[in-house]
Amino acid sequence: MIIGGVSAWGLAESYGTPLYVTDEQALRENYRRIHSAFSRHMDTRIMYACKANSNLAILRILEQEGSGIDAVSIGEVQTCMKAGFSPDRILYTGVNVSTEELRQVVKAGVPVNVDSFSELRRLAEISTDVPISFRVTPGVGSGHHPKVVTGAKGSKFGIPRESIIDAYREALDLGFEPQGLHAHIGSGGQSVEPFMDLIGIMIDTVNEIKDQLGLSLRFLDMGGGIGVPYRPHDPVMEVDELAMTITDMIKEETEVETLYVEPGRYIICDSTVLLTRCVDIKTTPEKNFIGVDAGFNTLIRPAFYDSYHHVAIANKFNRACERKFDVVGPICESGDYLARDRVLPEPEEGDLLAVYDAGAYGFVMSSNYNSRPRCREALVNQGQAELIREREDMDDIWRHQTVPGRLQQ
Ligand SMILES: *Cc1c(COP(=O)(O)O)cnc(C)c1O
């Protein structure tokens, strides 16, 4: 198996496992594909949703490509600024934001996408010079799992459609100059229809804002959520079709100049594989297990969302597959699995497994559960490999713990 011109086996030998490996050219191509799909039709800013993967080297690459950033916390804002993004290229979209965090975002000079009336009023106390937009709950939801649907009615995110005009009215009364309208339906949907429903609702909303308040919004932000094919025969989301349909609707029915798109998964997901070593093999009357050194501490998506990740034995690509296996990790919970009931070649201890499409919501959701230090990340580019994150050690796990003196006797 070769990733970005580098042998997967060689990477595992030199850096150890588990190891996340990102192919820089694949990442750049994903960015360019989605950027050109939209910007050939109208002025578009791609705002990479950095919660999907916020490694500084990944952010540097996207900064070079000209991307903007969707940040959901002050920590993400600071990380992106450290990676070289100027504040005007970031949009902060928080939910249940504390006043202290709002203060820090304003101080950083980053525009605020407001999620509630409470946040609006607390922001007004800090400053009304901040560029703002509002997140509307459109009543349209989509996603690969109920936990990641954000746009449906009853969601904790955004201001309900029924109250959104009042939000803009109040913002104007407070002295703000709102710039845009935002919505995000959810993460990882595979079809174009929910986006069309969303854009229809957003178009009606911007036009109502214009008619009722005389306010012309500069941008419309359709959020992210563009799905990727995790299974071998999953359909591929046609971004060209999505882009053409949506930009046509916006150009025909509104005066909005700029479209924001906030893809996270689409940009980073398939550029990265997780390499993990087979350490143990177990056969029982019910199941066959391939025990590997990555568990849900390293990649939580299968345990958390029942997500499918394609798995292969990287050093046995051409072997016949005969038996079914569960690929399971070292965490002491029965929910700790990476893959279930997969037909794979006969495994041996020491084999190297590749878990595909691990770039989005992979490393960022990893943890120290079971006192396991987090793993390394590597970047490969046209035959060269470099580390972009060092492995943690036990000192990292103990660093912020203290034992009161009276317990130290
Ligand atoms: C998570 C998130 C996104 C990105 O979702 P993807 O499915 O990774 O594209 C975009 N916008 C907001 C506000 C988000 O919270």
Interval 378-399: pLDDT, tens: 999 999 999 999 999 999 999 9
Architecture label for domain 270-396: Beta Barrel (2.40)
Instruction: Judge if the upstream peptide bond of residue 18 is cis by omega within 30 degrees of 0.
Output: yes
Q: pLDDT tens digit string along 194-222?
A: 999 999 999 999 999 999 999 999 999 99
| pLDDT tier at 149, thresholds 50, 70, 90 | confident
The confidence score (pLDDT) of residue 187 equals 86
Domain ranges of the chain: 41-263, 270-396
Q: What is the pTM of this model?
A: 0.97
d(CA 396, CA 374): 9
Architecture label for domain 41-263: Alpha-Beta Barrel (3.20)
- Which of 70, 181, 222, 307, when mutated, tests ligand 1's pocket best, judged by the most ligand atoms within 8 Å of its CB? 70
| pLDDT tier at 8, thresholds 50, 70, 90 | very high
Of all protein residues, the one whose alpha carbon is nearest to atom 3 of ligand 1 is 224
> To 10 degrees, the CA torsion angle through 150, 154, 157, 158?
120
Looking at residues 161-188, what average pLDDT do you find? Answer: 96
Active-site annotation, residues: 332
The confidence score (pLDDT) of residue 1 equals 96
The partner residues of 353 in beta bridges, in order of sequence, read: 276, 313
CB of residue 70 inside a 6 A radius of ligand 1 = yes
Checking 172-177 for CB contacts under 8 A at 24+ apart, the result is 172/213, 172/215, 174/120, 174/121, 174/124, 174/128, 175/124, 175/128, 176/120, 176/124, 176/128, 176/130, 176/132, 177/131, 177/132
d(CA 57, CA 299): 20
Q: Give the pairing of strands 337-344 and 323-328.
A: antiparallel
CB of residue 269 inside a 6 A radius of ligand 1 = no
| pLDDT tier at 188, thresholds 50, 70, 90 | confident
CB of residue 52 inside a 6 A radius of ligand 1 = yes
Q: pLDDT tens digit string along 39-55?
A: 999 999 999 999 999 99
CB of residue 223 inside a 6 A radius of ligand 1 = yes
Are domains 41-263 and 270-396 of this chain identical in fold?
no
**Cα-to-centroid distance, 191 and ligand 1 (Å):** 16
List the structure tokens of 367.
């943890």
**Cα-to-centroid distance, 103 and ligand 1 (Å):** 23
CA 8 to chain CA mean position, Å: 25
**Cα-to-centroid distance, 128 and ligand 1 (Å):** 27
The confidence score (pLDDT) of residue 152 equals 87
| pLDDT tier at 242, thresholds 50, 70, 90 | very high
